Amino acid sequence: MKTIGAAKFKAECLSLLDHIPTTGLVITKHGRPVARIIPYDEGSCAHLIGCLKDHIQIHGDIHSTGLKWDATSES
């Protein structure tokens, strides 16, 4: 994993973001790690979208807790 100082990261941020190693990039301040940047994996969750279609049934109002509430009441 590549390590880079915060000042150098700040100066070269856009270029570094275009070339992040697959293992990621560790940013340090005064020699101590403070952050890690890893590449975003776009396809990791795409298969989950819509996978439960036709498998779930909704009963009742999903936007309600089922409790009645009166805004004018003091209790």
- Write the DSSP assignment of the chain as a string of letters: -EEEEHHHHHHHHHHHHHT--TT-EEEEETTEEEEEE----TTSSGGGTTTTTTT----S-TT--S----TT---
What confidence tens digit (pLDDT) does each residue in 28-50 have?
999 999 999 999 877 667 778 78
Query: Which fold does the domain 2-48 belong to in CATH?
Result: YefM-like fold (3.40.1620)
Per-domain residue ranges for the chain?
2-48
| pLDDT over threshold 80, residue 56 | yes
Residue with the larger pLDDT of the pair 51 and 11: 11
Minimal CA–CA distance to 1: which of 57, 48, 28, 73? Answer: 28
